[in-house]
């Protein structure tokens, strides 16, 4: 990109040089994008630009900002891969129990460690089992019926776009959410139904520090006679208080899901700052914990249950964000990096 404004042009040349240097991503982020950073200071000069050139300046500055942000993100990711490949592992070497410790490669002499996602999942499932829930694993490949039709998405309905995912040539779908299992669970169990469904989900996403094409969700399904919204709020709050090991305030706000009625977003008071306002809750004091709602009568009917007799609720929440928040991990891509130096820290 050729910048017409000479200051921006200079800045672009400087960042190019820095990107090729040994300087760390953190250092460069502060240098350019920090509050006192070169880019932020440059932006403040817009007042000194002649009026008729301001629009062009603004446009160029935006392009440059985007370029800096994307390049630094890319640099961070390259650094991450470098760490993982810098260790040489001899895959042909043979070791047995009699090999002296010092001759074993370090990786073999250390006990393995569980991935942070697995650790958290086991902890969460432990809470739900103690609350009387069964566990069903989500399938990794599914079809249009379970992904959409059984969940009250008519064919061609625009709401399908909200869960855009990948399709195989055979019209199969890697599930975009664990709700794909609702119909199976409703058919398989007799009320009272209490099931949690952990699973890996796939979305048609461009990846960045907070988005991944692969994510993990935990669905909950609860059906019996006379189940109300109050039961839902009590159950979810009980789980979240056990998870964060503290008392929480809870509230719900409207959301949109075709498979529940009403459709809600469940919020909790921020357990990290006791609502004083921190970075994790975006200074609002509240954290969006999950989507939930009373299961739509059409979904119950499709699952073979009479909605006149039974009612219930469902929820779905993401695991990856919880693990990130709890461990202060800033980039979601670390979770799938396969980087042993990262995993060993847990």
Q: Which stretch binds ligand PHE (CB under 6 A): 16-24, 29-37, 291-299, 330-338?
A: 291-299
Q: Which positions from 160 through 219 interact with ligand PHE, judged by CB under 6 A?
A: 177, 179, 219
In angstroms, give the least distance from the CB of 243 to ligand PHE.
Answer: 17
Binding track, positions 67-96, relative to ligand PHE; x by CB under 6 A? ------------------------------
Q: Which stretch binds ligand PHE (CB under 6 A): 4-12, 17-25, 233-241, 289-297?
A: 289-297
- Cα-atom radius of gyration of the chain, to the nearest Å? 25
**The one among 260, 269, 311, 339 contacting ligand PHE by CB under 6 A:** 260
Cα–Cα distance between 315 and 222 in angstroms, integer?
9
State both tokens at 210: 């907070």
Q: Which stretch binds ligand PHE (CB under 6 A): 66-74, 243-251, 275-283, 286-294?
A: 286-294
**The one among 293, 303, 310, 329 contacting ligand PHE by CB under 6 A:** 293
Which residue has 């040489």 as its token pair?
Answer: 88
Q: Does 292 bind ligand PHE (CB under 6 A)?
A: yes
Q: Does 316 bind ligand PHE (CB under 6 A)?
A: yes
Output 221 or 270, the one with its CB closest to ligand PHE: 221
Output 219 or 320, the one with its CB closest to ligand PHE: 219
Q: How many residues does this entry show for the chain?
A: 346
State both tokens at 136: 């069903």
The side-by-side arrangement of strands in the sheet containing 311-318 is 134-135, 193-202, 214-224, 311-318, 286-295, 260-269, 250-254
DSSP 93-136: ----TTS-GGGS-HHHHSPP---HHHHHHHHHHHHHHHTT-EE-
**Phi, psi torsion values for 46, nearest 5 degrees:** -60, -30
**The one among 314, 322, 323, 343 contacting ligand PHE by CB under 6 A:** 314
User: Rounded to 10 degrees, what is the CA torsion of 168, 172, 177, 180?
Assistant: 180
Which residue has 């249950």 as its token pair?
Answer: 305
Output 39 or 153, the one with its CB closest to ligand PHE: 153
Output 80 or 233, the one with its CB closest to ligand PHE: 233
User: For residue 140, which of 195, 198, 210 has the smallest C-alpha distance?
Assistant: 198
**The one among 116, 175, 291, 303 contacting ligand PHE by CB under 6 A:** 291
Nearest residue by C-beta to ligand PHE? Answer: 316
Query: Which residues sit at the interface with ligand PHE, rule CB under 6 A?
Result: 177, 179, 219, 257, 260, 291-293, 314-316
């Amino acid at each position: 990109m050729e910048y017409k404004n000479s200051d921006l042009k200079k800045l672009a040349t400087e960042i190019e040089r820095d990107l090729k240097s040994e300087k760390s991503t953190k250092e460069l982020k502060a240098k350019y994008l920090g509050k006192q950073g070169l880019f932020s200071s440059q932006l403040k000069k817009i007042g000194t630009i002649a009026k008729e050139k301001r629009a062009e300046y603004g446009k160029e500055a935006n392009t440059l900002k985007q370029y800096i942000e994307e390049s630094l993100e890319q640099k961070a990711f390259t650094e991450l891969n470098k760490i993982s490949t810098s260790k040489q592992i001899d895959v042909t070497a043979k070791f047995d129990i009699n090999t002296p410790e010092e001759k074993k490669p370090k990786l073999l002499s250390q006990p393995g460690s569980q991935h942070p996602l697995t650790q958290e999942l086991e902890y969460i499932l432990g809470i739900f089992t103690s609350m009387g829930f069964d566990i069903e694993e989500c399938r990794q490949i599914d079809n249009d019926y379970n992904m959409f039709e059984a969940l009250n998405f008519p064919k061609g309905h625009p709401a399908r776009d909200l869960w855009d995912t990948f399709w195989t040539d055979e019209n199969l779908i890697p599930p975009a959410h664990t709700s794909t299992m609702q119909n199976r669970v409703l058919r398989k169990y007799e009320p009272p139904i209490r099931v949690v469904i952990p699973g890996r989900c796939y979305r048609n996403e461009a990846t960045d520090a907070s988005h991944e094409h692969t994510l993990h969700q935990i669905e909950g399904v609860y059906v019996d006679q006379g189940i109300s919204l109050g039961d839902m709020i009590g159950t979810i709050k009980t789980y979240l208080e056990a998870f964060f090991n503290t008392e929480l305030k809870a509230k719900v706000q409207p959301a949109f899901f075709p498979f529940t009625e009403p459709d809600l977003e469940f919020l909790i008071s921020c357990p990290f700052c006791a609502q004083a306002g921190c970075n994790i809750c975006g200074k609002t004091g509240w954290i969006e914990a999950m989507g939930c709602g009373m299961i739509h009568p059409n979904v119950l009917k499709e699952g073979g249950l009479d909605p006149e007799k039974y009612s219930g609720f469902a929820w779905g929440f993401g695991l990856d964000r919880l693990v990130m928040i709890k461990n202060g991990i800033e980039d979601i891509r670390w979770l799938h990096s396969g980087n042993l130096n990262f995993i060993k820290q847990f």
